[in-house]
């Protein structure tokens, strides 16, 4: 079950041995590399100009994002704290009830 299963080896015939010929080597012909195409130059993009109004809008947007994220995180922390306090109160009440139950028996 856990033994590996190997595929069957190829059944192609072995390549025929080549015979070496002792003739003169072929002459070396120097080749020049093909010229590399040059990419066209893209037109210069205009830079972003920040006016006082757009800067103020960016700062206001950033402050709004920070306030919203902070409010969400604080509300999540508050939910966890309220849940922990309620679980602790339930534990104290159950402990008190069990203690009173054991006294009466």
Instruction: Give domain status of residue 8, yes or no.
Output: no
Number of folded domains in the chain?
A: 1
Instruction: Give domain status of residue 13, yes or no.
Output: no
> Of 105 and 40, which is predicted with more confidence?
40
Instruction: Give domain status of residue 12, yes or no.
Output: no
Question: pTM of the prediction?
Answer: 0.45
DSSP H helical segments within the chain, as ranges? 52-104
CA–CA separation, 101 vs 40, rounded Å?
89
> Of 104 and 99, which is predicted with more confidence?
99
Range of the domain at 86: 75-105
CA–CA separation, 59 vs 55, rounded Å?
6
Q: Is 52 helix (H, G, I), strand (E, B) or coil?
A: helix
Instruction: Give domain status of residue 98, yes or no.
Output: yes
Residues 6+ apart with CB under 8 A from 50: 58
Each residue's pLDDT tens digit, 72-86: 999 999 999 999 999
60 pLDDT higher than 90: yes
Each residue's pLDDT tens digit, 1-55: 788 887 777 777 777 777 665 666 667 766 777 777 777 766 677 777 889 899 9
């Amino acid at each position: 079950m856990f033994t590996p299963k190997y595929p069957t080896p190829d059944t192609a015939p072995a390549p025929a041995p080549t015979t070496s010929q002792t003739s003169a080597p072929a002459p070396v012909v120097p080749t020049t590399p093909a010229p590399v195409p040059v990419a066209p130059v893209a037109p210069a993009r205009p830079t972003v100009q920040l006016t006082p109004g757009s800067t103020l809008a960016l700062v206001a947007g950033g402050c709004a994002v920070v306030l919203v994220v902070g409010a969400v995180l604080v509300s999540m922390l508050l939910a966890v704290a309220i849940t922990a306090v309620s679980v602790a109160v339930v534990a104290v009440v159950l402990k008190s009830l069990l203690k009173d139950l054991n006294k009466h028996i």
